[in-house]
Amino acid sequence: LINKMEKMYLINYDFKENGHGIDTFSYRLYNELRKRNLDIEKIEINNFYKRTLRYVKPIFINKSIRRKLIYTLNKNVIKNKNIHVLDPSALPIKYLLLPKRKIVTVHDFYMFNEKQMQNRIKRFKRPLNWLAYKNIINERKIYGYLKYYDFVFAVSKEVLERSVSDFGVNREKIEVSNDI
């Protein structure tokens, strides 16, 4: 799919080792690829947010929503480049056609679990619960665009099967790859 000599850009909200989640996966993947002397660069979407608003974090807002309040991925940063999106929600749908080649990793489908999502929304007081609900609906829409990626990594067989059956991903363009 991508020549070993071509530069690849890893895209995620954060690259940090905190012991869990996609941020840790991203951090470890970036470091492992660097050890192999691959031409790799990371793009942290919330770099601006982290630098300027680190003392004014609205802690009453869920991290997932807070990340999207200040979305700093500039379209020129990814135009005509090879990208690997480490969280499907990290690339705006409107930017999907800009990269030269694009890969995505799908970790899970937690936002489709109605009971879990209702419990998340209940934690917020009005009107923030509306914002949380809107965030979930937007994340669900993003998964409909998985089929437009050049390649999809699924972290489990279940994620692979659901990506194919529910979201129309071509079986030839998806494989299971456990977290690093």
- In the chain, the N- to C-terminal Cα span, in Å, equals 20
Spatial separation of the C-alpha atoms in residues 20 and 109, rounded to whole Å: 17
* Model pLDDT, residue 130: 78
pLDDT at 50: 54
Evaluate if residue 55 carries a pLDDT over 50. no
Q: In the structure, what pLDDT confidence band is assigned to residue 145 with cuts at 50, 70 and 90?
A: very high
pTM score, whole prediction? 0.81
Nearest residue to 85 (alpha-carbon basis) of 137, 53, 45? 45
pLDDT recorded at residue 158: 92
- Cβ 154 vs Cβ 174: under 8 Å: yes
Counting residues of the chain whose pLDDT is more than 90, the rounded percentage is 40
Question: Is residue 87 pLDDT above 50, yes or no?
Answer: yes
Confidence class of residue 47 from pLDDT cuts 50, 70 and 90?
Answer: low
Q: pLDDT band at residue 119, thresholds of 50, 70 and 90?
A: confident
86-95, 109-118, 121-130, 171-180: which range is least confident on average?
A: 121-130
